[in-house]
Amino acid sequence: MYSDLQIETYILKKPVYDIADLEKDPYSYLILLQHEKVEAIELLRGKVENPFNRAIDIEGSIYICYKGREVSPLIYWDEVDSLWAYYINLIEEYLENGNATCYFPGQPIPIILKKGSNNMMLFSVNNVEILVAERYFLLILLNKAKEFFEFLSSISLNNYYENENSQIKSILAKIGKA
């Protein structure tokens, strides 16, 4: 069942001046974090270890595809570290209220979680919707966020991502690890 849901983090490796160019050849602009770690480390090390001792936004995409339906395509790029933090907050709000909405950090792209019946939930990005098993989806999404923030923590001398890592751990404890 895991292969039905694909959630991947991509890092922007060069500026995008024309969205049409990104649409035509997204892989010339983005690197897949999980498979190109050496290149990602080289690209990000200078950003996470900066002389101002503060976090720097990292641009990229969180690609989400369920059963062949792209819910969050590669062309929806933004501050990917902030976007992952938004997803974590969205999940927390969803677990408390049964629904939650937020927008991408720098774009008017809505992300919605709504409780359905029979342990199902509606997940939507920019009005592209899927109905998915709640626990299954949340666990995979949280574990992908965890991978991302653990990766950033591993290449940073600072502890910028301690809050995100703690929040993920707390949410996983609430819903139960698989």
77, 30 in Cβ contact below 8 A? Answer: yes
- Nearest C-alpha neighbor of 84 from the set 106, 110, 62, 111: 62
Residue at token pair 């109905």: 131
* Residues 175, 70, 8, 106, CA torsion sign: negative
For residue 53, with 0-12 CB atoms within 10 Å meaning exposed, 13-18 middle and 19 or more buried, which class applies? exposed
Give the number of other Cβ atoms within 10 Å of residue 50's Cβ: 13
**Which tens digits make up the pLDDT trace of 76-123?**
999 999 999 999 999 999 999 999 999 999 999 999 999 999 999 999
pLDDT score at 178 = 45
pLDDT score at 136 = 94
The distance of Cα 70 from the centroid of its chain, to the nearest Å, equals: 14
pLDDT score at 96 = 96
59, 40 in Cβ contact below 8 A? Answer: no
**What tokens were used for 49?**
């270890």
pLDDT score at 124 = 98
Q: Which parts of the chain register pLDDT below 70?
A: 1-3, 46-56, 157-158, 177-178
pLDDT score at 157 = 59
Compute the chain's Rg from CA coordinates. 16
pLDDT score at 1 = 41
pLDDT score at 50 = 57
